Amino acid sequence: MELFALEHKRLWRSTRVWICVLLCFIYCVIYGGVLSYQWFVFGNVGIDSTSPYKNNFDGYSAIQDYKAQADKYGDVWTDEAFQQMVKDFQTMEPPQQLQSMYDWQTVSSFLNNLYPELMDMESQTYQPLIHYVDTEKLTDFYEKRQEFLDYNLEVSRQNYLLTDEDVETLREMDSQIEEPYKYDWIQGWSHLLSTSLASTGSLMAPFLAIVLAFTFSGEWHNSTAPLLHTTKHGWRKLAYVKVLSGLAFAVELFVLIAGGEILAQLVYLGTSGWDTPIQLIKLVAVAPWNMLQAELYELAFIFLGVIGYAGVVMLFSALVKNNVLSLVFSLALIEVPGLLGFYLPVWAQDASQFIPLVGSPTDIFRMNMFHIFGKGVWMPWMLITVPVLIGIVCTPFAIKGWARRQKV
């Protein structure tokens, strides 16, 4: 324990580590959290054309207004509430901007997906359906949503993305969703789960790489590796301590960043709406989860992904003697799959999602299945288990890889 404390303190004494932690906090928590809530996402649309985001710096008060507006429609999602929201939009002078962070975006997407037959296809001037639809025709929301889900399941089945067994599994999950949906202001949770929290892992990865890529290769770079043979503990125990110290740093960085983002969320969004279903964000979502359960999943995804990525980075560090190569391999691991994108065959695209911090926690809104020996498993369960297992498997090889080079 004493040796671990000394090694961990040594890690934190590095200027490189403090710079990385500070930059990561500023980027993820201050810019991606506080400023997004207060300014460029939720701030009211401003009239100052010189503003970089054309939004006012009034996100907190705007969010309270959005919540108050949502309270007018009750605490459950009904046809009557749906109709009234569309009617309110149409009678506003001037009409509310669709890019506003109120729930007009949600309502507009519901109309386009569930009521396409009401679109005016003969009009020469395109306008979103929400501008002119007859609100009296907006009925049977839950039946329409079921038809829309069935259509998407059938399309996926016909394209061989899902098997008959997969479709039944997803239908069973969907059958557990409670109706009518509880309703509260949606856009805050949508931003958190689809953008802010969802991107945290990939934003943390480069900073983790810069810190942990030098765990073992740094000893060669500083010409201190041979001296470790002269210590009373020897290279093997020090290797274990280095790995544990690196994993501890990954956990500490996660706690700092996730804690900061959750604090910003509580200050600006509060806790209202935690029990609304995720189907209000994505109609074809089949997971019977509310917003809080989805947030807990995404936090678990980031935490386990961080552990997995830390293990892989330290393996690279142990296998090469060059700091630059170690860092390049670590960064390429998370950047190359995204750069190649659709150029990869389908099986390679699916496999790349299991690389730590490469996949996305937003798969909870999709209907993706992964097949193991013919048995379908809902993709989000794979995305939180495989990456951390990869990292765990990599750690003993990192120790052995460094040992082999030491003996040489």
174-232 tens-digit pLDDT: 999 999 999 999 999 999 999 999 999 999 999 999 999 999 886 655 555 554 544 55
- State the DSSP H helix or E strand holding residue 93, giving kind and residue range, or none if neither: none
- 3 state DSSP class of 56: coil
124 and 200 both lie in a single domain: no
Q: 91 is in which domain, residue-wise? A: 70-175
Provide the 3-class DSSP secondary structure of residue 376. Answer: strand
107 belongs to a structural domain: yes
pLDDT-derived band at 342, boundaries 50, 70, 90: confident
**Taking the model in full, what pTM does it have?**
0.94
Peptide bond into 128 cis (omega under 30): no
Q: Is 52 within the bounds of a domain?
A: no
166 and 191 assigned to the same domain: no
- Cα–Cα distance for residue pair 81/78, rounded to 1 Å: 5
Which of 118, 153, 175 is the C-terminal boundary of a domain? 175
53 lies in a domain? no
- Taking the C-alpha atoms of residue 98 and residue 110, their distance in angstroms, rounded to an integer, is 13
Question: Residue 377 — φ and ψ, nearest 5°?
Answer: -125, 130
- The Cα–Cα gap between 68 and 63 comes to 9
Domain shared by 246 and 318, yes or no: yes
Residue 75 and residue 150 share a domain = yes
Question: What does each C-alpha distance from 5 to 2, 104, 208, 215, 244 come to in angstroms?
Answer: 5, 53, 20, 15, 10
Beta carbons of 268 and 60 less than 8 angstroms apart: yes
- Do 313 and 241 lie in one domain? The reply is yes
Together in a domain, 208 and 332 = yes
Last residue of a domain, one of 175, 195, 219: 175
- Please give the distance of CA 186 from its chain centroid, rounded to a whole number: 17
Looking at the 3D structure of the chain, how many domains does it have?
2
Residues 195 and 171 both lie in one domain: no
Instruction: Report the candidate in 48, 6, 40 with the shortest Cα–Cα distance to residue 244.
Output: 6
Residue 59 lies in a domain: no
121 and 226 share a domain?
no
Mean per-residue pLDDT, 50-68: 86
Long-range contact set of residues 148-156: C-beta below 8 Å, sequence gap at least 24: 148/113, 148/114, 148/283, 148/284, 149/174, 149/283, 149/284, 149/286, 152/284, 152/367, 153/367, 156/367
Is the Cβ–Cβ distance between 189 and 281 less than 8 Å? yes
Tell me, yes or no, whether 56 lies in a domain. no
pLDDT in tens, 114-173: 999 999 887 756 788 999 999 999 999 999 999 999 999 999 999 989 999 999 999 999
For residues 160 and 201, state if they share a domain.
no
Is 45 inside a domain boundary? no
Do the domain assignments include residue 408? no
Q: 36 with 147, same domain? A: no
* Residue 126 pLDDT: 79
In a domain, 61, yes or no: no
The residue out of 156, 175, 194 marking a domain boundary is: 175
Of 11-15, 44-48, 373-377, the range with the highest mean pLDDT is: 11-15
The radius of gyration computed from the CA coordinates of the chain, to the nearest angstrom, equals 25
Please choose, from the candidates 62, 19, 25, the residue with its C-alpha nearest in 3D space to the C-alpha of residue 43: 62
Same domain, 99 and 161: yes
| Mean pLDDT value of segment 378-399 | 96
Same domain membership, residue 118 and residue 76: yes
Tokens 């917003």 found at: 291
pLDDT band at 237 (very low <50, low <70, confident <90, very high): confident
